Amino acid sequence: MEKCSMCSKKFPDETMHKMIQIVGKKAYGQNICPACRGLAAANPNYYDAAAGFSQDAEWGKVIDEANKLELPADVVMDLIQSFAKTVKKMNK
């Protein structure tokens, strides 16, 4: 049995969902129960821990560089989105 990070109730391990909560410049692993999963999914500070981790080593370099330059996550996201728009325009 694991305790839900949101409601603190205990649930069987196989029903818990692993998510990442971003607070400031830090990321925290959270166990989310089925009852709280909808709330966490609707919260922009929570990310599904199972999604996209296959490229963890590659993205680790990006995260390390952003941390080294003290770039906030929202600034990096804006840069990525702006770059994607530019690439899309160039490919037309």
Rounded Cα distance, 92 and 89, in Å: 5
Written as one letter, the residue type at 62 is: V
Q: Do 41 and 6 reside in the same domain of the chain?
A: yes
- Shared domain check, 64 and 47: no
pLDDT of residue 87: 85
Please name the residue ranges forming H helices in the chain: 34-42, 56-68, 73-90
Q: How many domains are contained in the chain? A: 2
What single-letter DSSP state applies at residue 22? E
Q: What is the pLDDT of residue 56?
A: 61
Tell me which amino acid residue 31 is: N
pTM of the model: 0.52
Tens digits of pLDDT across the chain (92 residues): 889 999 999 999 889 988 999 988 888 889 999 999 999 989 999 988 766 555 566 777 777 788 888 888 888 888 889 988 888 888 87
Range of the domain at 12: 1-51
Q: What is the pLDDT of residue 62?
A: 79
Q: Based on the domain organization, do 3 and 47 belong to the same domain? A: yes
Q: How far apart are CA 62 and CA 80, in angstroms?
A: 11
Residues 25 and 43 in one domain: yes
